[in-house]
Structure 1
Amino acid sequence: MEQVHYIHELPGQAGIAAPLSLAGRPFTPGKKARVHILALGDVGMTMLIGLRLLGAADIACIGICDLNENNLRRLEIEINQIRYPFAGQGDGPVLPPVYMVTEEQLFDCDVFIFCASKGVPPLSAKGDVRMAQLEANKGLIGHFAGLARQAAYGGLVCIVSDPVDPLCAAFLDESGVQPWQIQGYGLGVMNARACYYAEQDERMAHYLKEGRAFGPHGEDLVIADRIDGYDDALSRELTRKVVEANYVVRNLGYKPYIAPALSSAALSILLTLEGRWHYGSVYLGDRDRGAFLGVRSRYTDEGLAYEDRSLPKALYDRIAYAYLRLCELR
């Protein structure tokens, strides 16, 4: 009989005997959330458009904060001009209003989305550019995590900036919030890219119905063609295509931010608020050791839950390697 393992076993691999509980929910199901977004560059602006267009049922209002005041004013004007023509007359949804907030008001909300980034690598940068941003963005996240601590923030924290998973851990360390309050949003686009390539190759087509994504938004990503009947060679081939998709767009002369902003962030955050399955990073560890790992997850009445199916050893070993590498970055 083939040896199987489970995601819940991962902390034990790092010598963690008592992982922190995920039994909590930082928002009220069915109640429209007040959302605040920090930093409206390419990713934040694209995500904002997605949340405005698709968030009528889940979002009450959207506050935006950025160092560039002219950018804020422009977005307040333009985004509020995206609307259904007769929504005010009862024909079509009324989209959530967008307004400007100050840094001091950032944590007066139900959902805080961190999109700030420092030292974005140029198009000429080679290799996995996400990790080059870690140290610079750690300083940024430490500052805003401190503000969350001062505010005794009790809402949901969504980390969108790269590298997503280590920045989630940095926010946890500095903010004093509970691990179930934080989710990282980087894996959604990796799954979407896997779907894109699976549509082009009949050998991989079953990924669309049976596939799964695990791990970080980066080079240690794990794409599984399926769980039952897992094909390691095919899965690694698809994983390589997904990881290199970032470079393909950059080599065309563009920063690949549209799909991440919508698949990883806007769509996944809305699914989170609806209590539906999505890809998000959840914390597996104690206060001193552990890491945020991207998995299929959702909020339930019992708190933050993740899919914990039995995994073949070859797949589990790949996920464990990614998890332990993330633990080293803590």
Structure 2
Amino acid sequence: MLYYKTNGKILISKFKYDNLQPITENDARKTRGYIYVLNKQNPLYSRKTFCICHPSLMFLENEDINLLQKKDTQFNDIPKWILGKIKERKVVSINTEYPNWEEVLNYKHPQKWRINIIGLGDVGGTLLTGLRMLGGDCISSIGIYGNDMNGLMRWEYEANQIVDPFNEDNYPDVKIINESDIFDCDMFVFCASKNVPKVGSDVKDVRMAQFEENSKIINVYARKARESNFKGIFAVVSDPVDLLCKVAFLESNKDSDENMDFKGLSSDQIRGYGLGVMNARALYYSKQNPDTIYYANEGRAFGPHGEGLIIADSIQSYDEELSSYLTQKALNANMEVRKTGFKPYIAPALSSGALSIIATIKGKWHYSSTYMGGVFMGSKNRLNPSGTEIEALDMPDKLIKRIETTYQNLKSIL
């Protein structure tokens, strides 16, 4: 391994960088802060940065669903002081094929986050309510933006009046923002949507029905994020979550001639919030069946918010039949709500949206979609100050096969 130092930061790589100052390992090991591992991969299929939480991630040759699988390989060639840093989550991977990779070295994790939301419909409004009520200790302000000024004023009035009378200071301030300010924040939350099928319609895949129109909308904001040189989290809540994340990534990284230059949103900046409610729905139905009551402690959810979803009844004692049962229950749960004459937006806005966003901010485990080699794939993960950490598990072959099938299907769509 080669060791470098720049602006007081310690860098490690297998590659030689002529523009960096070389140092010895003894000099490198003296640092008390983060260390940065430099890699070279095609930006189209890899993240700009992530948390190295296991030695196997130090010099990855490719990123795909292998990120979800636990590695038992011994790494005796890695110095103990680096292994210690990995255990402390103080090792950051950087892909130097991104043109602006050095910006990662100066990243500062927010103490309290400024959040801006676009789209104050059923989902956006409910999500805002959740963030206002529950985010006081981690969110400093919530900006709201949309085309309906009366609607915005209504939410500004109402949300700021959600108060515990004896704890009135512990709530993020909600304010209407201008279009020019939508990316002046730490997290941009995309809740805008068009063509949501009406209750009673015979559309089977409600989420995919919105893809074309919502792609056009997110395209605009992805390019605005590029123009604003946005460095925060671009959070996607609108359906279909996982595919819209990919649209945002691709469109923000095109220059004026439609060439990919990777000067827009890096893939690790984009997160999709749709899997949280699928886990919640699986949990709801698991409690109604004595054969699946253990899901809360042993089960996991993977994949998209919709077709291709994977619910595993248990990681330790995986049962294909019971897993398929819970998967179908979770997939069809929204249609059960529609049968009552209402749109199913409350649980998604809170389980996938507000609660998962707050967990992200706090660095807690949650479900969201992150980039895995060309696909935004939902899984359990957390956002550390050093970057995203994806939970890696020792999974049975049958479950891995299901995940691989979903992964390839998502890859083939976009």
Q: Does TM, normalized by the shorter one, top 0.5? A: yes
The counterpart of 1:143, out of the listed 220, 231, 236, is 220
Counterpart Cα distance in 1 of 2:328 and 2:287? 16
Counterpart Cα distance in 2 of 1:189 and 1:36? 22
Q: Deviations over 1:282-325 (max 9, x none)?
A: 1012xxxx110000011124311111112111101111111111
Q: Supply the AA of the counterpart residue of 1:250.
A: R
In 2 relative to 1, CA 8–147 (structure 1 residues): closer, same or farther, beyond 3 Å?
closer
Q: Which runs of 5+ in 2 are unaligned?
A: 1-61, 68-92, 253-263
Alpha-carbon shift at residue 251 of structure 1 (Å): 1.2
2:324 pairs with 1:324: no
Counterpart Cα distance in 1 of 2:106 and 2:322? 38
The 8 Å contact of residues 8 and 308 in structure 1, kept in 2 or not, is answered as no
Q: Name the structure 2 match of 1:109.
A: 185
Deviates more, 1:297-306 or 1:129-138: 297-306
2:10 pairs with 1:10: no
Counterpart Cα distance in 2 of 1:177 and 1:125? 37
SS at match of 1:148: helix
Q: Name the structure 2 match of 1:182.
A: 270
SS at match of 1:95: coil
The counterpart of 1:201, out of the listed 269, 289, 293, is 289
SS at match of 1:203: coil
Q: Name the structure 1 match of 2:386.
A: 302
Q: Deviations over 1:101-145 (max 9, x none)?
A: 122210011110000011111121321110011111110010000
Q: Supply the AA of the counterpart residue of 2:379.
A: V
The 8 Å contact of residues 29 and 273 in structure 1, kept in 2 or not, is answered as no
Q: Name the structure 1 match of 2:357.
A: 269
Counterpart Cα distance in 2 of 1:128 and 1:25? 43
Q: Name the structure 2 match of 1:154.
A: 231
The counterpart of 1:167, out of the listed 206, 220, 244, is 244
Larger radius of gyration: 2
Q: TM-score scaled by structure 2?
A: 0.72
- Structure 2 matches for 1:76-155, cutoff 5 A? 76-88=156-168, 93-123=169-199, 124-155=201-232
SS at match of 2:202: coil
Alpha-carbon shift at residue 87 of structure 1 (Å): 2.6
Amino-acid identity (%): 48
The answer to which structure has the higher helix fraction is 1
Q: Name the structure 2 match of 1:45.
A: 125
Counterpart Cα distance in 1 of 2:368 and 2:277? 11
In 2 relative to 1, CA 105–25 (structure 1 residues): closer, same or farther, beyond 3 Å?
farther
Alpha-carbon shift at residue 20 of structure 1 (Å): 9.0
Q: Name the structure 2 match of 1:15.
A: none
The 8 Å contact of residues 188 and 278 in structure 1, kept in 2 or not, is answered as yes
Q: TM-score scaled by structure 1?
A: 0.89
Q: Supply the AA of the counterpart residue of 1:101.
A: I
SS at match of 1:161: coil
Number of equivalent positions: 310
The counterpart of 2:137, out of the listed 51, 57, 63, is 57
2:111 pairs with 1:35: no
Q: Name the structure 2 match of 1:291.
A: 375
Q: Deviations over 1:34-64 (max 9, x none)?
A: 1000010000000000000000001000000
Q: Name the structure 2 match of 1:252.
A: 340
The 8 Å contact of residues 25 and 299 in structure 1, kept in 2 or not, is answered as no
Q: Supply the AA of the counterpart residue of 2:310.
A: V
In 2 relative to 1, CA 77–25 (structure 1 residues): closer, same or farther, beyond 3 Å?
farther
Q: Supply the AA of the counterpart residue of 1:168.
A: C
Counterpart Cα distance in 1 of 2:354 and 2:389? 20
Counterpart Cα distance in 2 of 1:125 and 1:105? 40
Q: Which has the higher contact order (CA 8 A, sep 6+)?
A: 1
Q: Deviations over 1:172-217 (max 9, x none)?
A: 1122111111110000000001110111111001101111000000
In 2 relative to 1, CA 165–58 (structure 1 residues): closer, same or farther, beyond 3 Å?
same
- Structure 2 matches for 1:70-81, cutoff 5 A? 70-81=150-161
